[in-house]
A and B are shown apart, each in its own frame.
Chain A
Amino acid sequence: MAPYRIVEHTADAGVYVTGGTLEELFADAARGMMSVISEVPPEGWPETHVVELSAPDAESLIVDWLAELLYLLEVKNFFTTDPRVEKVEGGEMRAVVGGARLRGVVHATEIKAVTHHMISVDRTMNGFETTIYFDL
Chain B
Amino acid sequence: MPDWTKRFDNISDYKIKIPRTCFEGMRVPGIIYAGPELVDDLKSDDAPQQVANVATLPGIVEYSLAMPDIHYGYGFPIGGVAAMSVEEGVISPGGVGFDINCGVRLLASAIEAGDARAKADELATNLFRDVPTGVGSTSDIRLRGGDMDKVLRMGAAWAARNGMGWDEDLEYCESGGGLEEADPGEVGRRARERGANQLGTLGAGNHFIEVQEVEEVFDDRAARAFGLEKGMAAVMIHSGSRGLGHQVCDDAIRSMREATARYGYELPDRQLACAPVESPEGCAYYGGMCAAANFAWANRQCLAHTVRGTMERVFGASAERLGLRLVYDVAHNIAKFEEHEVGGKKRQLCVHRKGATRAFAAGHPELAGRHAGVGQPVIVPGDMGSASYVMAGTPLAMAETWGSVCHGAGRVKSRTSAKKDFNAATVLEELAAHGVIVRAGSKKSLLEEAPGAYKNVDHVVGTCVNAGLATIVARLRPIVVIKG
Contact = CB atoms under 8 A, between A and B. Distances in A.
A10 B416 contact: no
Interface residues on chain B, size class:
35 or more
Given A75-B194, A107-B442, A117-B269, A13 B416 contact: yes
Contacts of B269: 116-118
B250 interface: yes
Interface stretch (B2-10, B54-62, B67-75, B396-404): B67-75
B271 A115 contact: yes
Nearest to B444: A109
A106 B194 contact: no
Contacts of B246: 112-113, 135
B417 A8 contact: yes
A88 B270 CA distance: 21
Contacts of B413: 10
Nearest to B245: A112
Contacts of B448: 109
B302 interface: no
Nearest to B74: A117
B313 interface: no
B257 interface: yes
A71 B270 contact: no
Interface residues on chain A, size class:
35 or more
Contacts of B273: 116
B193 interface: yes
A37 B98 CA distance: 17
Contacts of A105: 134-137
Contact of A11 (B72, B134, B204): B72
B167 to A, nearest CB: 32
Contact of B74 (A6, A37, A75, A115): A115
B190 A104 contact: no
Interface string B240-282: 0001001101100110011000000000011101000000000
Interface string A5-16: 010111111000
Given A105-B136, A136-B205, A136-B415, A113 B98 contact: yes
B257 A104 contact: no
Given A10-B72, A10-B412, A10-B413, A112 B99 contact: yes
A21 interface: no
A113 B205 CA distance: 13
Contacts of B414: 8-11, 13
B85 interface: no
A13 B413 CA distance: 12
Nearest to B75: A117
Nearest to B241: A112
A77 interface: yes
A65 interface: no
A116 B72 contact: no
Contacts of A115: 74-75, 98, 271
Given A8-B417, A13-B415, A60-B257, A133 B134 contact: no
A56 interface: yes
A110 interface: yes
Contacts of B243: 74-75, 112
A60 B412 CA distance: 30
B74 A110 contact: no
Given A75-B194, A135-B97, A107 B445 contact: yes
B135 A56 contact: no
B441 interface: yes
Contacts of A74: 135-136, 194, 243
Nearest to B251: A67
Interface centre among B73, B194, B442, B445 (most CB of A within 10 A): B73
A10 B442 CA distance: 20
A82 B366 CA distance: 53
Contact of A110 (B257, B270, B484): B484
Interface string B27-54: 0000000000000000011010000000
A119 B411 contact: no
B78 interface: yes
Contacts of A104: 136
A113 B270 contact: no
9 nearest A-B residue pairs (beta carbon): A117-B74, A107-B442, A116-B270, A110-B204, A107-B441, A113-B98, A115-B74, A117-B271, A10-B72
16 contacts: A8-B416, A10-B72, A59-B270, A60-B254, A67-B250, A102-B136, A105-B136, A107-B134, A108-B134, A109-B204, A109-B445, A109-B448, A110-B484, A112-B98, A112-B243, A112-B246
Interface of B: 44-45, 47, 71-75, 78, 97-99, 134-137, 190, 193-194, 203-205, 243, 246-247, 249-250, 253-254, 257-258, 269-271, 273, 411-417, 441-442, 444-445, 448, 484
Interface of A: 6, 8-13, 37, 56, 59-60, 64, 67, 71, 73-75, 77, 102, 104-110, 112-119, 133, 135-136
